Every structure is written in structure tokens, then in C-alpha cells.
Amino acid sequence: MFKYILKRVAASAVTLLLVAAITFLAMNAIPGNPFLDENTTVEQMEIANAKYGLDQPLLVQMKNYLLNYLHGDMGESLKMQRGTPVKDIIFGQGKFELSIQLGVLALFLTVLMGIPLGCIAAYNRGKAVDNFLNVFSTVGIAAPNFVVATLLLTLLSVKLGILPAVSGSFNDPKAIIMPAIALSLYYVCYVAKLTRTSMLDAINQDYIRTARAKGLRTGSLIFKHALRNALIPVVTYLGPLTAGLLCGGFVVETTFGVPGLGRYFVSSIIDRDYPIIMATTIVLSTLIIGMNLIVDIVYKIVDPRISLSGTNN
């Protein structure tokens, strides 16, 4: 188990390194230099040269850049908040916390709603409940999160005036309701569908037939034998889910005016503030890859078939 975790951690580190390298190289492919803007003075150039080693070969530059990141130095903003260290922008202004709050809430909503709904549908297969949930989740999957976000905004805020249209901070619990629903609805539906399918799949497995032949009660059949197997694909989906929630945050934060990292990231892309784009990409990638790592380990616990050597399938 320990060896397995070690292997997975190493693999994740390689992926992260690769993402960082791609980010760096991609940014370097931009004509000019992403760290400097048009009005750079000679002194600034010298400082930059000293700091990033811009006159050195690309690989050395990349090494420096990655080392700087490891030390927590993410450069300075060029446009959005000129001169402010990117690290402070991301972590020091409450943006990160806001986005994480929203993401974690949506994650909980997804797991705590999606899995039970999927089980209920599978258990009542073919009945009215199943049909209703099926229609609901099918429609939910077809609606992009910005559609859900804007429709919620129209209905609850503009027409009914129940909830605030702009969620400047989450101090008011009302402010987080719509963003969280808009962010998680798609995934609730997806997870519900996934759970239903894999639950039905599990129910059709030979070992469920064995369990039935043993005379086990329905409860034991569903919760002991089917659910644990059915949860395996759901657990594997948690990785993509995290990525989806973080990137979905861009849309939801933009729509509801949440001053989080996602919204800032989108603005930085439109403004071409390269250091911020790079830093945000790497921070978010770290989160996603970290989540994938956790998923792999949980997966190992849920499914004993994954061999200890660390190779899947």
C-alpha cells in the first residue's frame, strides 16, 4: 500500500512537472517575452535578467522558473495589478479561499445528492421515480452551467428577487446558494446517472446472482454487494469532477460576480496578463492532479483488485 502510494505520488509529480513545463514553454512561444511588457525600462530588463536569467538558454530558464515556483515566487502581475506579486494576488486577496469554498460546497452537493439519487433510481428501475430522475438528470446534463447560472439569475434574482444577483462575498449565506447550485447541477445529474448505470451494471453481475442465491436480503444485496462495486466508477470520476468544478467556477464566478480566482483568471486571459495566467494554471493543475492522486488511493481502498505494483487494469 505504501509502495503504491509512493508510486502514485511520483507519477503525479511527473505530470505536474510536465504541466508546468508545457505552461512555461507555451508562454515562451509567445513573441516577445511574457514576463515583460512593452514599456519595460533598461533597469527593469536587467532586474528581470538577473531574476529569470532571460539571457540564458531556455532549459536553464525553465529550471529557474520552476525553482522559483517551488520557493513560492510566482512573479509579478504585468497588467491587472501592476507590480503586485502574483502569489499575493492569488492567495492573499481572498480569491483562492472564495473559489475553494464554492468548489468544496459544490463537490459535497454533487456527492451527497448524486450518489443517493442514482441509487434510488437504480433501485426503483422502470418505476415513476426512476423515470422522473432519468428525465431530470438527462436534461440537467444537457444544460451547460452558464445556462443554469443565468436562468437561476433570471428567475430567483431578477423576477422573484429572493436572492442577491451579485455575490460579492459569501458572508451572506444566501449569496452562495445560486453559484453552488449552478456549479453542481450538471455534476449532480452526471453522478446520479453514473451511479444508476454502474449500480444496474453491478446488479447484473454474477456475484450479485450468487448473493441472491445465498438468500441475502435486498438491503444487504444493494448496500453491501452492489453499492461498493458500483461506487468504483463514481470514485474514478471524482478526478475529472474536481477539474470540472474548478473550470466551471470560471463561468459561475463570472456570471454571479463572485470575486474569486476563476473570474480573475478569465479576466487575466482577456487582458493577457501572462504571469497570472501561468501561476493560476499551475495552481489549479496542482489541485486537479492532487485530487486525481487522492482518487487513485481511495480507488485502491475500494477495489482490492488493483495490484500493489501500481499498474491499473
Partner 1 sequence: MAEKTDYVKKDKPLLKVDNLKVSFFTPAGEVKAVNGISYELHENEIMGIVGESGSGKSVEAYTIMGLLAGSGKVCGGSIEFEGKDLLHLSRKEMSDLQGNEMSIIFQNPMTCLNPVYTIGNQLVEVVRRHDKSISKKEATQRAIDILTEVGINNAEKRIKQYPHELSGGMRQRVMIAMGLICNPKLLIADEPTTALDVTTQEQILQLMKKLQKIHHTAIIFITHNLGVVAEICDSVSVMYAGHIVEQGKIEDIFYHMKHPYTEGLIASMPRIDIVNHERLNPIEGSPVDLLNPPKGCCFAPRCGKCMRICQEQEPPYVKVGENNHISACWLHVLEMKKEAEKNG
Partner 2 sequence: MSGMNWKNIRINSPKDLEGLTLPDELFEPVSADEKAKNAEDNRKSITYWQDAWRRFKANTVAMVASVVFILILIFAFAGPFFIPYSYESQYRNSVKLGPMEYSDVELEEQEVLKNYDAVFCTNMMEGSLKSLSKGSYYIKAGGKKYYFTREKTLSNSYILYDKDTEEKLFIASSKDVQEDGTFSETKPLEYTLDAIEGAKRIDMIKKVVPHVLGTDSAGRDIMSRCMYGTRVSLIIGIAAALIVLVIGALIGSIAGLVGGKVDFVIMRIIDIIISIPTTLMVLLLQVVLSAPLQAWFDSSHTAFARAMRDLGVGIVSMFIVFALLYWVSMARLVRGQVLQLKGMEFITAEEVLGAEKKRIILRHLLPNCVGQLVIATCLQIPSAIFTESFLSYLGIGVAAPMASLGSMCSEALATLSVYPHRLICPALILSVLVLSLNLIGDGLRDALDPRLK
By CB under 8 A, name the binding residues for partner 1: 204-207, 209-217, 220, 224-225, 228-229, 302-305
Note whether 186 and 145 are within 8 A (CB): yes
Q: Which is nearer to partner 2, 50 or 144 (CB)?
A: 144
**Residue 6 binding result from partner 1, partner 2, none, given CB thresholds of 5 to 8 Å by partner type:** none
**Residue 198 binding result from partner 1, partner 2, none, given CB thresholds of 5 to 8 Å by partner type:** none
Q: Which is nearer to partner 1, 80 or 216 (CB)?
A: 216
**Residue 219 binding result from partner 2, partner 1, none, given CB thresholds of 5 to 8 Å by partner type:** none
Output the smallest distance, CB 219 to partner 2, in A: 26
**Residue 304 binding result from partner 1, partner 2, none, given CB thresholds of 5 to 8 Å by partner type:** partner 1
Site residues, partner 2 (CB under 8 A):
12, 14-15, 18-19, 22-23, 26-27, 29-31, 138-139, 141-144, 146-147, 150-151, 153-154, 158, 239, 243-244, 246-247, 250-251, 254-255, 265-266, 269-270, 272, 274, 277, 281, 284-285, 288-289, 292
**Residue 142 binding result from partner 2, partner 1, none, given CB thresholds of 5 to 8 Å by partner type:** partner 2
Q: Which is nearer to partner 1, 58 or 301 (CB)?
A: 301
Output the smallest distance, CB 23 to partner 1, in A: 39
- Residue 64 to residues 49, 52, 95, 279, 286: CA-CA distances in angstroms? 11, 6, 27, 15, 19
